[in-house]
Structure 1
Amino acid sequence: MDDIECIVIGAGVCGIAIARALACAGREVMVIEAESSIGTQISSRNSEVVHAGIYYPKGSLMARLCVSGRQKLYDFCADRGVAFARCGKLIVATNEAERPGLALIKERGEANGVEGLTLLTAHEARTLEPNLCCTGALLSPATGIIDSHAYMLALQGDAEHAGAVFVCNSPVMRASVLTEGIAVEVGEIDPITLRCRLLVNAAGLAAPALAARIEGMPRHLVPTAHYAKGNYFVLSGRSPFSRLIYPVPVPGGLGVHLTIDLGGQARFGPDVEWVSEIGYDVDASRAAGFYDAVRRYWPALEDGALQPGYCGIRPKLVPEGAAPQDFVVQDWRTHGVPGLINLFGIESPGLTAAIALGELVRDRAALNRAGHATP
């Protein structure tokens, strides 16, 4: 059995950021990924939006890590030459009944420390975006867009420069808690067993299933996975807007919003489709709902202008209709297993929060090592 100090399971953006934080703190780190390359699931199937931290309850992990992570992300990208743009976004009310909601969103965002939020009249919003139809809007200048893959590669480069090793095509089959660390069985064919002092479960959609395969992890503390699929449709031609356009949020997500990539291509989504299995086919018939949603704030959208794009899956910990979830970073103080940290329900704003989340896990791991006789 080979020994390594820290194993991070999952090479999505959060797993990479955690590996970077641990390696830069001088710890020996191996990242184990089941897929053939980094960031192939949640991290590459999203809107590539840098969120400001507006929507989340004050004091929640989502709020704290998004606000602190956003500035860390912008600073990192500026330093490493990763492409991004602080394009800003407008959250729009499309009828009078929605307008009071904008003030509530502004109040929540300011309570989280989001700067620059400004309520706009319909005229002021149309001055910024002449193609917009609304009764009022909330401007968030701190919101932006990013090249998510370049961002992950830059984080990986930092981690590897600090000594971290990435191993792909290596599914983790099971693990078990030993007196001397945690044993991790890797590989379906000719598996090997590694022993580590710190195991970070950052497996994204598979995190609950992986936790259930860790012998010694209390089963009643493993959450049930729920999947909320989000479909995207792309617009033919350039975007009619220079900023991101978001409706007032809907249960389960932020509504069918318009985002732009760094090349000016517009895409709409995601919607919310609760599913029982992971799959990445876009149902073209869902376009009808997109036209209805988008025309509330952009009536000029022409028939046939939307084409199926891609989809992603949100790793929910609560079922449809339940109250919104928070990020869960579960350590020994909850489950009683020294050296094990589980990350559950890391959906949006995980991309924005990744660096801050990595630092949080690094600090929790240091507390674990200092406060327990961890092997």
Structure 2
Amino acid sequence: MTNWDFDTVVIGAGVIGISVAAAIAARGQSVLVMEAGNHPGEETSARNSEVIHAGLYYPTGSLKHRFCTAGRRMLYDYMDRSGIAYMKSGKLIVATSDAEEEQLTAILALGTVNEVEGLERISGAQMARLEPALLAQSALRSRETGIFDSHGFLQCQLAVLEAHGGLLVLRTPFEAAEALASGFRVRTGGSDPTAFTTRRLVNAAGLWAPDIAHSIEGMPKEAVPEQWLAKGSYFRLTGRAPFSHLIYPVPVDGGLGVHATFDLGGAVRFGPDVEWLPRGTKPSEVNYNVDLMRKEAFEVAIRRYWPDLPPGRLEPDYSGVRPKLRGPDEGFYDFDLQTEETHGISGLVNLFGFESPGLTSSLAIADAVAIDMMP
């Protein structure tokens, strides 16, 4: 078959899906993005802290390390050129015990090997001058960490996609894909089911990526990883912001601890925490309401580094869900960017487990997939 409807179809219109599609379209390919929801980026991409990560925590040479450091540099450059609002606020990772001091030393060593710029170990006295409200023995300062307008970034990437002739269709859920000779026939569900052909297929469906993969003809079941969902809730701080940096504790199992971030308007939020959902929980079964019973644990965690948190200042904000490829206490896992080498299907790319730092990494991920998608 030579007359394909599209060169590439991307499933999922989150930040990564739209960035991948924009990168492919900019290289001269015809691209369709199909999204089951009513708006692009309304699920996982809309439930993040908008932090630009430096690349401190990830094993050297892992995809998370390489995509995060490259993506962060690309993102700052892109925002400078595109006029997207951001603030390179920097962050402090604080140690409140001798054991956490050792963890800071290990994080600094890893960040240095990972070629993360702007790292500095500072004493408790130095930290007190930078952030008088904090109480900690010492801290690791990351000057390259920042915050940005992730919605504005998504809209810019969508504009790039459309400027190069790419299409986005909403309320168009993926139903199945049939393998053809060097391509696919894609069937959609929804109120107006249809079918079309494409030479290449990118599964960037986020929380739904494993379900999508199981609906692609010929996809080996053993190549689809088991996914664990970890919910993270946020509480916002009412009143004046106490910090000028983002404040992080040392990492915990499944996340980076209950940290303090703020948006470009100065509003402070704490979180996310880590709430492992029962094994086998489906994305459609997630309750995104913030459980008020978690507030006490937040207050305890925050007072470890901000003991003067006034009572009654935390209000429930929002929550998100991370698509993880390991369960509780199972350690680090990398992004799973699957190509033909893994699953044996020509023209198919699966993106599994793309949680944080996926937002920071999105431009680097997009380039990597676009290169693989080229004829």
User: Considering the TM-score relative to the shorter chain, is it more than 0.5?
Assistant: yes
Which of the numbers 17, 27, 30 marks the counterpart of 1:28?
30
Partner residue, 1:241: 243
Partner residue, 1:373: none
Q: Distance in 2 between matches of 1:249 and 1:180?
A: 45
Q: Deviations over 1:105-124 (max 9, x none)?
A: 01111111101110010011
TM-align CA RMSD = 1.1
Partner residue, 1:13: 15
Could you list the structure 1 runs, at least 4 aligned residues long, displaced by more than 6 angstroms after superposition.
none
Q: Distance in 1 between matches of 2:115 and 2:17?
A: 26
Q: Distance in 2 between matches of 1:160 and 1:95?
A: 52
Which of the numbers 56, 59, 72 marks the counterpart of 2:58?
56
Identity level (%): 49
Query: Aligned partner of 1:348: which letter?
Result: S
Equivalent runs, 1:169-208 vs 2, <5 Å: 169-208=171-210
Contact 2:260–2:269 at 8 Å: present in 1 too? yes
Query: Aligned partner of 2:30: which letter?
Result: E
Q: Distance in 1 between matches of 2:34 and 2:155?
A: 16
Give the SS at the match of 1:229: strand
Q: Distance in 1 between matches of 2:42 and 2:4?
A: 28
Contact 2:34–2:170 at 8 Å: present in 1 too? yes
Q: Distance in 2 between matches of 1:116 and 1:150?
A: 26
Partner residue, 1:301: 309
Partner residue, 2:265: 263
Query: Aligned partner of 1:311: which letter?
Result: S
Partner residue, 2:293: 285
Query: Aligned partner of 1:341: which letter?
Result: V
Q: Distance in 2 between matches of 1:227 and 1:78?
A: 35
- 1:223 Cα offset (Å): 1.1
Contact 2:337–2:352 at 8 Å: present in 1 too? yes
Query: Aligned partner of 2:131: which letter?
Result: E
Partner residue, 2:139: 137
Per mean C-alpha deviation after superposition, the further-off stretch among 50-59 and 110-119 is 110-119
- 1:57 Cα offset (Å): 0.4
Per mean C-alpha deviation after superposition, the further-off stretch among 202-211 and 100-109 is 100-109
Which of the numbers 215, 232, 235 marks the counterpart of 1:230?
232
Structure 1 unpaired stretches of 5+: 370-375
Which of the numbers 309, 313, 321 marks the counterpart of 2:321?
313
Q: Distance in 2 between matches of 1:269 and 1:261?
A: 13
Q: Distance in 1 between matches of 2:207 and 2:115?
A: 30
Q: Distance in 2 between matches of 1:327 and 1:238?
A: 37
- 1:17 Cα offset (Å): 0.6
Query: Aligned partner of 1:290: which letter?
Result: F
Partner residue, 1:46: 48
Contact 1:90–1:137 at 8 Å: present in 2 too? yes
- After TM superposition, the score normalised by the length of structure 1 is 0.96
Q: Distance in 2 between matches of 1:288 and 1:12?
A: 33
1:331 aligns with 2:333: no
- 1:180 Cα offset (Å): 4.6
Contact 2:31–2:166 at 8 Å: present in 1 too? yes
Query: Aligned partner of 1:132: which letter?
Result: L
Contact 2:182–2:347 at 8 Å: present in 1 too? no
- 1:360 Cα offset (Å): 0.3
1:211 aligns with 2:219: no
- 1:279 Cα offset (Å): 2.4
Query: Aligned partner of 1:69: which letter?
Result: G
- 1:53 Cα offset (Å): 0.3
- 1:278 Cα offset (Å): 2.2
Q: Distance in 2 between matches of 1:154 and 1:116?
A: 28
- 1:355 Cα offset (Å): 0.4
Which of the numbers 339, 358, 364 marks the counterpart of 1:350?
358
Number of matched residues?
A: 367
Give the SS at the match of 1:126: helix
Contact 2:4–2:199 at 8 Å: present in 1 too? no
Q: Deviations over 1:77-119 (max 9, x none)?
A: 1111111000000000012221111111011111111011100
Give the SS at the match of 1:91: strand
- 1:238 Cα offset (Å): 2.4
Contact 1:2–1:193 at 8 Å: present in 2 too? no
Equivalent runs, 1:108-147 vs 2, <5 Å: 108-147=110-149
Q: Distance in 1 between matches of 2:191 and 2:107?
A: 51
Structure 2 unpaired stretches of 5+: none
